[in-house]
């Protein structure tokens, strides 16, 4: 036996199927006056809904919605140009440092290892900074 009242969907299904369906619903309706009253209201509404004319607009809804949508911007933003410039400058600085190390520090490997470590850490820092910047841009685009 059912402990709660019928949902609106169950009542609508019951009315539309002319009382055919789950025995549990019929058993509940036989003793629950609140659900019987709701069901009677649905039985009155159904014929009215079937005879109602379809809603018609005197304007084109799709055209109105499309007119209010923002245009999609195509191209690269100024922020991304700056990111690419920073990455390019970092790559050039790294290549320049590599050239200096191989040209002038080739015989002094101890000094070269320190420079390689510094450049590597700097490269990772730049990469992390660019990733964080891109995350922040994505967050701002969704606001």
DSSP label at residue 53? P
Q: Tell whether 69 is covered by a domain.
A: no
CB 44 within 8 A of CB 11: no
Helices 8-16 & 33-51, crossing angle to 10 degrees? 60
Q: Tell whether 26 is covered by a domain.
A: yes
Q: Do residues 82 and 124 share a domain?
A: yes
Total count of domains within the chain: 2
Q: Do residues 47 and 91 share a domain?
A: no
Range of the structural domain that residue 97 is part of: 78-142
Q: Do residues 96 and 135 share a domain?
A: yes
Q: Do residues 84 and 135 share a domain?
A: yes
CA 40/CA 14 separation, integer angstroms: 11
Q: Tell whether 67 is covered by a domain.
A: no
Q: Tell whether 70 is covered by a domain.
A: no
pLDDT at 95: 86
User: Token pair of 23, please?
Assistant: 């025995």
Mean pLDDT is lowest, of 10-24, 40-54, 58-72, 80-94, for: 10-24
Helices (H) and strands (E) in the chain, counts: 6, 0
CA 138/CA 28 separation, integer angstroms: 54
Q: Do residues 138 and 87 share a domain?
A: yes
Under the banding of pLDDT at 50, 70 and 90, the label for residue 92 is: very high
Give start and end residues of each alpha helix (H) in 17-108: 23-31, 33-51, 61-68, 78-104
Q: Do residues 36 and 84 share a domain?
A: no
Among the listed residues 124, 134, 51, 44, the one whose alpha carbon sits nearest the alpha carbon of residue 90: 124
> For 42-69, what is each residue's pLDDT tens digit?
888 888 877 888 777 777 888 888 888 8
pTM of structure: 0.36
Q: Tell whether 65 is covered by a domain.
A: no
Q: Tell whether 94 is covered by a domain.
A: yes
């Amino acid at each position: 036996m059912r402990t709660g009242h019928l949902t609106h969907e169950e009542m609508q299904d019951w009315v539309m199927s002319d009382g055919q369906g789950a025995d549990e619903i019929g058993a509940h309706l036989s003793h629950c006056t609140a659900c019987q009253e709701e069901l009677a209201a649905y039985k009155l509404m159904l014929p009215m809904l079937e005879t109602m004319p379809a809603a018609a607009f005197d304007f084109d809804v799709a055209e109105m919605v499309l007119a209010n949508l923002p245009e999609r911007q195509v191209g690269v933003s100024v922020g991304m140009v700056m990111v690419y410039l920073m990455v390019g400058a970092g790559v050039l600085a790294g290549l320049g440092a590599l050239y200096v190390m191989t040209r002038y520090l080739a015989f002094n490997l101890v000094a070269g290892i320190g420079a390689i470590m510094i450049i590597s850490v700097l490269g990772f820092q730049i990469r992390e900074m660019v990733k964080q910047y891109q995350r922040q841009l994505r967050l701002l685009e969704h606001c």
